[in-house]
Amino acid sequence: MIPICDVTEQYRFLKRRIDAAVCDVFAHGQYINGPNVHALENEVAAYLGARYAVGVNSGTDALHLALRALDIGPGDEVITSPFTFIASSEAIGLVGAKPVFADIDPQRFTISPEAIENAIGPRTRAILPVHLYGLPAPMPEICRIAERYGLAVVEDCAQAIGASIDGRRVGTFGEFGALSFFPSKNLGAYGDGGMIVTSRPDLADRVRSLRAHGGRVKYHHEELGVNSRLDEVQAAILRVKLPHLESWLDLRRLHARGYDAALRDALVTPFEPERYRHVYHQYTVRLPDRDAVQRRLGEHGIQSMVYYPVPLHLQRVHAALGHRAGDFPHAEFAAREVLSLPMYPELSDEQRRRVSELLRASLALVAL
């Protein structure tokens, strides 16, 4: 079987150092907010080019607490993409605000700046773009709109650590960037984990308080917060992995070039605009006969996934928003056509070639 992702390969590669880092945590005993969490916060901030980073329990918490820190709540609207993982709109709902969807650019799968501008109303407070599959949303355009209308920007970087536009890394364009260290992410922990990045000292201070029960001084609480901590064991593991991230992203990009060359003439391959660095969390193609092709790949032992089969405006959780099929046609069309292929740094060239060959053969068969 060729899996879509294999999270065990990096452990095999780094076993000695990861085992040592974890045992060191067990021995030092500062299991909560320990030295590895602080060190990783500094290392991730430096890697991204942000001033501050604050570890939290997950990418979902990172988005949620970023919105809380901006005082976004009931009566407010936040514009996001309808074609993403549920956490993006869930975080907006969790603070009591209303998610307002703006359709995607069909070539990039990320939110369209034009659609954002059409969705802005008197209650709009923020834009929450998602760097889907590892491709940056068009941040220069989005930031220009945000500035014009006085809106905050919270970047969902869960799938895109290390992606950039003109060398500037995602997470540093808006007020906040939200990272996820979910195990299969490009920088994955061995459990849940997340981080909030910002360059504003007031906002960094606020999220530090919110993640620690709403207080800056122990046993003194100023507001309702949450308990959301990046675990010390996970931070120790991530510190071993972070120095390898760039080489892993380069390998993902090499695989993407290999897939592009093998598939470009047969189907729609991912788009990487000039000056953008796509980090290929997913290598996602478009296929009119997606379901039949996916079945055939599966019969030949090749795993592929559909991210995501139901756009967010059509999810039951958002039924109260009153959307119906046809409201966001590009997102709906993408949900019917996308297929993500095996993609991880340790994938071999041989495996990638086999996926490409079988995909081409499946296309030919399905077309008969």
Ligand X SMILES: Cc1ncc(COP(=O)(O)O)c(C=O)c1O
Residues that bind ligand X (CB under 6 A): 58-60, 84-85, 87-88, 130, 156, 158-159, 180, 182, 192, 194
Beta bridge partners of 55: 195
Residue 56: CB minimum distance to ligand X, A: 9
- What's the CA gap between 30 and 53, in Å, rounded? 20
Residue 124 or 180 having the CB closest to ligand X:
180
Tokens representing 100? 């307002």
Residue 234 or 356 having the CB closest to ligand X:
234
Residue 95 or 358 having the CB closest to ligand X:
95
Residue 5 or 359 having the CB closest to ligand X:
5
Query: Is residue 312 packed enough to be buried (19+ CB in 10 Å), middle (13-18) or exposed (0-12)?
Result: buried
Residue 183: CB minimum distance to ligand X, A: 9
SS3 content of the chain, % helix, strand, coil (to 5): 45, 15, 40
Residue 281: CB minimum distance to ligand X, A: 8
Contact 132, 107 (CB under 8 A): no
Residue 252: CB minimum distance to ligand X, A: 16
Residue 91 or 359 having the CB closest to ligand X:
91
- What's the CA gap between 63 and 84, in Å, rounded? 14
Q: What is the 3-state secondary structure (H, E, C) of 236-259?
A: HHHHHHHHHHHHHHHHHHHHHHHH
Residue 249 or 358 having the CB closest to ligand X:
249
DSSP code string of 193-218 = -EEEEES-HHHHHHHHHHHBTT-SBT
The number of residues in the chain equals: 368
Q: Residue 339: what are its φ and ψ, rounded to 5°?
A: -145, 125
Q: Which residue has the tokens 């605000």?
A: 97
Residue 340: CB minimum distance to ligand X, A: 12
C-alpha dihedral, 342 to 44 to 17 to 28, nearest 10°: -140
Residue 177: CB minimum distance to ligand X, A: 12
Contact 61, 272 (CB under 8 A): no
In the bound state, the residue with its beta carbon closest to ligand X is 59
Residue 171: CB minimum distance to ligand X, A: 13
Tokens representing 85? 């993982």
- Shortest CA distance to 335 belongs to which of 360, 307, 315? 307
Residue 60: CB minimum distance to ligand X, A: 3
Residue 87 or 355 having the CB closest to ligand X:
87
- Shortest CA distance to 157 belongs to which of 188, 129, 184, 179? 179
For residue 343, the tally of other CB atoms under 10 A from its CB is: 22
